[in-house]
A = this chain, B = another copy of it.
Amino acid sequence: MSQSGPTIVSDGAAPTACVLLIGNELLSGKTQDANLQFLGRELAGLGIRLGECRVVRDDHDAIIAHLNECRARYTYVFTTGGIGPTHDDITAEAVAAAFGVPLVVDAEAKRRLEAYGRELNEARLKMARVPEGASLIDNPISHAPGFRMDNVFVLAGIPSIARAMFSAAAAELRHGAAIHSASVDVWLREGDFAAVLERIAAAHADVEIGSYPFARDGRFGANLVVRGTDADIVEAVLARITAEMDALGGEPERRT
């Protein structure tokens, strides 16, 4: 393992992804991100494994470095943020620099911005600039498009627009085997069932088993999640977990 991070193999069967959330406001505590969970859920539904996410400042060199690292490592990279008209919107310029191509005015993007009806001043024209060779991603909400450059999908930061752009781009993605998820709540402390759960996990390396503790109404419990590409196996493992937790007095309650 090199210092530059893990290598995630993308073979034909298992597309992978990385999300880059771009914006100082996400690191200063000003803004609560609302895009990662949405993207994670959507990608899981398409069978695309989200390997990591990075939250990056509005910094030209930082965006370039992270983007070049991640686009080499994952099947797809999705960025959010920094494609508006103001001085702190530098994502398109950084993506162009990362690919070593100029930023050019896209005629179709310009046409859409003009059709939207507001004065196409210098600032708004900035939103029609994309890296040379990029294709547009539709924005049905505010019309200024996102874009795709090779395996990199550049989306807006505003959650409603990011979602609409992702939906517009999803048809271009290679899907993997859909990931099935099933879960059960148990009213036990993790320390009281960890050994049992570990034994089950060791016997079922073909699924991913997670334990997420909670406190509710003054009682402690945990949500036990099984995820995998074979729905029958996922259900069989959940059934075994449910039975063993019941035997421990955990009063299991199916969740999803």
Interface residues of A (CB under 8 A from B): 1-6, 24-33, 36-44, 50-59, 61-62, 64-66, 68-69, 72, 84-88, 118-119, 121-124, 126-127, 158, 179, 181, 189-192, 194-195, 197-198, 201-202, 208-213, 225, 227
Measured CB to CB, the closest approach of chain B to A234, in angstroms, equals: 13
* CB <8 Å contact, A44 and B28: yes
Instruction: Evaluate whether A194 and B29 lie within 8 angstroms (CB atoms) in the complex, with A54-B52, A68-B3, A208-B24 already known.
Output: no
Total copies of this chain within the assembly: 2
- Tell me what chain A mostly uses at the interface: helix, strand, loop, or mixed: mixed
**A32–B124 Cα gap in the complex (Å)?**
33
* CB <8 Å contact, B88 and A210: yes
Measured CB to CB, the closest approach of chain B to A178, in angstroms, equals: 13
* CB <8 Å contact, A2 and B65: yes
* CB <8 Å contact, B121 and A195: yes
* CB <8 Å contact, A85 and B31: no
Measured CB to CB, the closest approach of chain B to A163, in angstroms, equals: 13
| Interchain Cβ contacts under 8 Å between A and B, 27 examples | A1-B64, A3-B69, A4-B4, A4-B69, A5-B62, A5-B66, A6-B59, A24-B208, A27-B50, A28-B44, A29-B38, A30-B40, A30-B181, A31-B37, A31-B212, A33-B37, A52-B55, A52-B56, A85-B190, A85-B191, A85-B194, A86-B194, A88-B209, A88-B210, A121-B191, A123-B194, A124-B191
